[in-house]
Structure 1
Amino acid sequence: MLSNESKQRIQALYRELIKALDLKPRMGQRVMIAEIAKALGSVKTDDKGERNNDAGIVVVEAGTGTGKTLAYLLASLPLAIEQEKKLLISTATIALQEQILDKDLPNLKKHISLPFNFALAKGRGRYLCLVKLDKALQQLSGILSTIDLFEQSPEEQDRDLYESMLSQYAVGKWDGDRDRWGEEISDSQWGHLTATHRECSNRRCPEFDNCSFFKARQAMEDADIIVANHDLVLSDLSLGGGAVLPAPEKTIYVFDEGHHLADKALNHFRLEFGVRAQRQWLKQLEQGVEQFVGATSMPPSILYALQDAPGQCRELSSHFSLMWPLVFDLMGDRDRLRFEQGRVPDNLRDLLNNIKAPLQPLLQCLDKLNDMLQQSLDAKGEGEFSRDVAESWQAPMGMMLARAESLWEAVTWMAAEEAEGEIPVARWIAKTPFGEDWDIKLSASPIAVADQLRKNLWWRCHGAVVTSATLTALNSFNNLSWETGLPDWVGYHRVASPFDYPNLGQLEVVQLASDPKSEQFQSDVEGWLKTQLDLTKGTLVLFSSRAQLEATRETFIRDWYESLLCQGFLPKSEIVRRHKERIDGGKGSVIFGLASFAEGIDLPGEYLTHVVIVKIPFAVPDDPIHAATSEWLESRGRNPFMDLTLPAASIRLVQACGRLIRKESDSGKVSILDKRLISSRYGKLLLDAMPPLRRI
């Protein structure tokens, strides 16, 4: 139970902030603070300080305008400090992360009497590796021969960039963060400058004390609040927790934009490989091993295994050569083929299992070699390899090992068979671009991540808050609970928006002559847009498909050239900038956008007075994960449309409508051009879940 002392401290901090920022106290914000504090304050711990009771996790849907960021910070920060835990704020989008870092946390730190520090956490791949930068410059100067295992030799035209980075980092004008470099850095340029966890030698590295990544980690250790994103949190959890971020047992998590957590986890656990890509990599691996053996004095303990490696690479390559005509025939003239119930054909499964035979000893050999190279870096000349050899080869061998591990996991999961009654894995093959040609990629993904999240996160964390403006689907938390695996004892709360929606905005369902399933629908949409849009105002038109957006653009781009901005033709940030610039200049502006413009876009006031939703945003029916989930639900006697498709569409529809009213002074109209909201039996369910705008 929350102690009176903690309760009074949180209330005092809230009063301080309200007074300092001249804010109006909001009932919803106070309710949110109370529920979070009550949940986190009910945690009981064992002798190690770890949670040992069913408490500490709470879900809060907070309507737009609640002030949820300040609410969860004020409720959780004092308790995290009191309980000697880290408070980790995780977001799904860069825009929200920047708002928290640049506005919310500095404001809080400045105006409350509770001192705290905060830091941003990013993955290793966002930071400079000084060793790799030095090697790139030495290779360009001819001082160091290139170990070109993956066709990634540094380019001469990048020499000035690399030299500038080195000098800027040396004098402290740059901290090694890719996102803080003053100019855009391409992936090909950055690939020579950053290290994976397999390449990094950690404390054995000669540049450890100057390493930008480990400096950032030190800042995290000194921080009370760490800001990260869902991908980094999930990646850290998959490595056991505590690899980059604090261990779950020592952390109170706040998952803002929590409705994205399950989808992010699904993407994170997907495994895939391309047939042609693997053949190319195996050729490079074979050449790399031969180059290493030829250039290095081999200890007997590894020489025998390495001598077999080129032959294992060739054997693996022959298996992938056999796989190509097999998957090509399976594909036929389709671009993608999903295997029903996740069952891979027997001939393909046999071939996948055959791949594991030579891959296993190769993987074990690379693992042993990588360990020996790592140890030689810290052995003061007494390791199996000289320090020069270890420094030159540890990174490329680490890359080879990481690639081999990834292939092993993907092949194993692709070939696996689930037991009767288990939730199936979605498995499919698809054509993908590969250089100037194309490849066939084999993919496997869970259709549900509830078990993984329950085991790695909810059962381990000290506490957690899941929040967003849209967590319910069709006015229920059931969908969120099932997707994320939240424990049964978790508390769920809805905090209504303080906005007076009926007096601020209107909602109209436009009954066109046709519905989205008709061939006439596109011309009806274009006809309505032509006559109903006010080109002197700020308008956002949301499409469910890129093809329809581009077709509509072709119709209007000539007449609306001065007003129209389209996603896919300009960067998102540039579209928003130009849109605001036009409105500020007294002109009108129309944005054509897709799903990413339906959330995370903040266009208050005159920037946006009309939102047009072309049709109900149902998931694409041929998405392999969605299709596999529907198939599984149907096999269990459930209705996939009502249990999966409709709830997901409800969330997207609410998010899209939420673009209109961002402040208490906003006004405008939402128009939905899909008459199924009126004509279908499920339409009322969708309408009842939407913000209570005045219906017209």
Structure 2
Amino acid sequence: RVIYPDELTLVLDSDDRDVVSDLSKAWAQGEWGGDMDRIPQPVSDSVKTAITTDHRRCQGRSCRHFKVCPYFNERDSWMDADILVINHDLLMSDLKLGGGVILPPLERIVLVIDEAHQLARVALDQFTTQCRIAQSLGSIKTIERVTTSLKGLLPPDHRLSNDLERLGEPLEGFGHILANWGKACLERLVELPDSMFTFQQGGSRFRLSLSDTFSANIEEFESLTITLSRIQKIRDWLQSLVAKGDQELIPETDAELLSEQISIALGRLESIPDLINSYSVDALQTGDARWLRIGQDVRYATPDDPTDLEFWVSPMEPAQALSDALWGRIGACILTSATLANHGTFNIPAGTLGLPVSSGLIVDGAFHYPSQGQLVISRFAGDPRDDGVQAERIAGYLKTRVDHRSGILVLFTSWRLCFQVEELLDQSVRDVTLIQGQRPLALALADHKARRANGQTSIIFGLQSMAEGLDLPGDLANEIVITRLPFQPPDDPREATLAEYLKNHGRDAFTELSLPAAAIRLRQAVGRLIRSETDTGQVTILDRRLVDTRWGQSLLKELPAFEFIEE
């Protein structure tokens, strides 16, 4: 997960121009090496997408930035290493390329995957594909400009001339297919009731059920795969020209620029045939979750303008993809995590990940939880399903803690509840509260550490990302507050599609899917408290379902054996 320098110049006209400009300066001044895990400030998903690339768009050694590329600079140091420490995303990127392309050959390595409870989510993210109509139409126009330029540069008898001449009409047809597909989908969407959509940040999302289809009319046009193969042939020729340094037909800078442009455009189009196929059949055949996103409120959308429409496809589970790409090839693999087992077995993660043969071992930790911590069901706890009432409970509880001179991490399951609580905070609490996303994490943690070093109360509000991986040892976290049991939002399209699939097969999605996932998230959150043999503190639960329901009590049994207190 590294930045690609050439991408910085491609988004300067976007709404995120200032952010990208700051990143560009940090890169140029050597203050940031391009590692997305060490990015100096928070960035939106649109910026993250714009400044990173994938294997389809990467120019490799043909890129004019090759010598300063953070990825290739890092990769050069890997080849002589005996041990490589990488993140899950890099492993999945290598698998998408066929394995052994970025990393050493899979058959020759022993793979140790830490935090393996996250592997399924990372794999699903990596194997998810999407197409935005506006971006795809823009890519088609880019390819048209490249082919027009090449026609003017190459002699009539060049071996590419025939492909260049024959590409015009298919490219126009490609654009018509996408535009017509988007219009047809929007016409159907605007007729659906509001209850079928999830509305967020001014946009709308619609999840297709297992039996839904949104087919595209492709019969009147050249096969998209044939059109894409013609584009690939032109791209490959340009890349070979750059690699050889051949300037006889085209100046080197022109060839490099045209090669970059067509590669980026092609990378955004290559997955479209598979996307169309997935939307044309029911999901029982493909095992895919599918959803549509509109960059505006669908209630005010105009079907004549489908450019804001996005098509998304993801496997419901990563089992098949990992079985094909990893488990059948790897020499050996060890999966580790403090939260991998469920009720003392590894059956659920083994099934989710598609492990063909496995054995498991549960090892006792080094901590003595009964003496190091307490799990407290607060008198402020209640049924959290009414956000407004729960926000009042949380704000009221924090007011009672502000004078305790402690470090408190308050974990939320949604931004909405987090912001509702923020609005209700007593001023004394607000003055000592840091909220995730309002400042770069490194600066917020520095303020938190400074307050704790001075013996002051310091409170951090965070979401699930802070429940996994945030290390606050000693007095930095004397208390963890669980505002609501961490179930995945019911509108998550992948989980909702898988739940529908399980229900159709007579299985209980809550027991098989939602509850085990919530157990992992809850144990990760609770695990923020005790980080060493000398740490002490308390976990405060503000969701009474943990003790008032049978399934809640099953979650309680999965937690560390803290001293239990119910106020």
User: Is the TM value for this pair above 0.5?
Assistant: yes
Listed as ranges, the matches of 1:184-333 within 5 Å are: 197=55, 202=60, 213-297=71-155, 299-332=157-190, 333=194
Aligned equivalent of 1:484, options 347, 353, 361: 353
Contact 1:296 1:389 in 2 (8 A): no
Distance, in Å, in 2 between the alignment partners of 1:274 and 1:189 is 15
- Structure 1 stretches of 5 or more lacking a match? 1-122, 137-147
Contact 2:11 2:50 in 1 (8 A): no
Contact 2:395 2:426 in 1 (8 A): no
Q: How big is the shift at 1:221? A: 0.8
1:493 counterpart SS class: coil
The amino acid of 1:657's aligned partner reads V
The amino acid of 1:618's aligned partner reads F
Q: How big is the shift at 1:440? A: 1.8
Contact 2:42 2:440 in 1 (8 A): no
The residue that corresponds to 2:563 in the other structure is 694
Contact 1:541 1:612 in 2 (8 A): yes
Query: Which has the higher mean CA deviation after the structures are superposed, 662-671 or 385-394?
Result: 385-394
Aligned equivalent of 2:292, options 417, 429, 438: 429
Larger Rg belongs to: 1
2:489 counterpart SS class: coil
The residue that corresponds to 2:536 in the other structure is 667
Contact 1:414 1:443 in 2 (8 A): no
Query: Which has the higher mean CA deviation after the structures are superposed, 316-325 or 237-246?
Result: 316-325
CA shift digits 1:431-482 (9 cap, x unpaired): 2369xx9812111111111122122112211121111111123443222111
1:472 aligns with 2:341: yes
The residue that corresponds to 1:592 in the other structure is 461
Distance, in Å, in 2 between the alignment partners of 1:269 and 1:403 is 15
Distance, in Å, in 2 between the alignment partners of 1:161 and 1:517 is 40
The residue that corresponds to 2:201 in the other structure is none
The residue that corresponds to 2:207 in the other structure is 338
Query: Which has the higher mean CA deviation after the structures are superposed, 606-615 or 273-282?
Result: 273-282
Distance, in Å, in 1 between the alignment partners of 2:441 and 2:47 is 23
Distance, in Å, in 1 between the alignment partners of 2:21 and 2:466 is 38
Residues 500 and 389 of structure 1: is their aligned pair in 2 closer, same or farther, counting only changes over 3 Å?
A: closer
Q: How big is the shift at 1:385? A: 6.0
Identity of aligned residues (%): 32
Distance, in Å, in 2 between the alignment partners of 1:594 and 1:447 is 24
Distance, in Å, in 1 between the alignment partners of 2:25 and 2:162 is 42
Report the TM-score when normalising by structure 1: 0.69
Contact 1:377 1:391 in 2 (8 A): yes
1:445 counterpart SS class: strand
The amino acid of 2:260's aligned partner reads A
Query: Which has the higher mean CA deviation after the structures are superposed, 575-584 or 176-185?
Result: 176-185
Distance, in Å, in 2 between the alignment partners of 1:524 and 1:191 is 38
Distance, in Å, in 1 between the alignment partners of 2:428 and 2:420 is 15
Aligned equivalent of 1:552, options 404, 421, 431: 421
Residues 308 and 414 of structure 1: is their aligned pair in 2 closer, same or farther, counting only changes over 3 Å?
A: same
Distance, in Å, in 2 between the alignment partners of 1:650 and 1:379 is 56
Contact 1:538 1:588 in 2 (8 A): yes
Q: How big is the shift at 1:520? A: 3.3
Q: How big is the shift at 1:499? A: 1.1
Distance, in Å, in 2 between the alignment partners of 1:562 and 1:449 is 44
Contact 1:149 1:285 in 2 (8 A): no
The residue that corresponds to 1:38 in the other structure is none
Distance, in Å, in 1 between the alignment partners of 2:400 and 2:101 is 57
Number of aligned residues: 541
The residue that corresponds to 2:260 in the other structure is 395
CA shift digits 1:101-121 (9 cap, x unpaired): xxxxxxxxxxxxxxxxxxxxx
Residues 607 and 619 of structure 1: is their aligned pair in 2 closer, same or farther, counting only changes over 3 Å?
A: same
Residues 679 and 355 of structure 1: is their aligned pair in 2 closer, same or farther, counting only changes over 3 Å?
A: farther
Query: Which has the higher mean CA deviation after the structures are superposed, 500-509 or 292-301?
Result: 292-301
1:602 aligns with 2:460: no
Distance, in Å, in 1 between the alignment partners of 2:94 and 2:262 is 23
Residues 546 and 475 of structure 1: is their aligned pair in 2 closer, same or farther, counting only changes over 3 Å?
A: farther
Q: How big is the shift at 1:577? A: 1.6
Residues 452 and 356 of structure 1: is their aligned pair in 2 closer, same or farther, counting only changes over 3 Å?
A: farther
Listed as ranges, the matches of 1:44-83 within 5 Å are: none
Distance, in Å, in 2 between the alignment partners of 1:642 and 1:180 is 34
The residue that corresponds to 1:502 in the other structure is 370
Distance, in Å, in 1 between the alignment partners of 2:53 and 2:393 is 53
Q: How big is the shift at 1:250? A: 1.6
- Structure 2 stretches of 5 or more lacking a match? 198-203, 298-305
Contact 1:272 1:410 in 2 (8 A): yes
Listed as ranges, the matches of 1:118-129 within 5 Å are: 125-126=2-3
The residue that corresponds to 2:508 in the other structure is 639
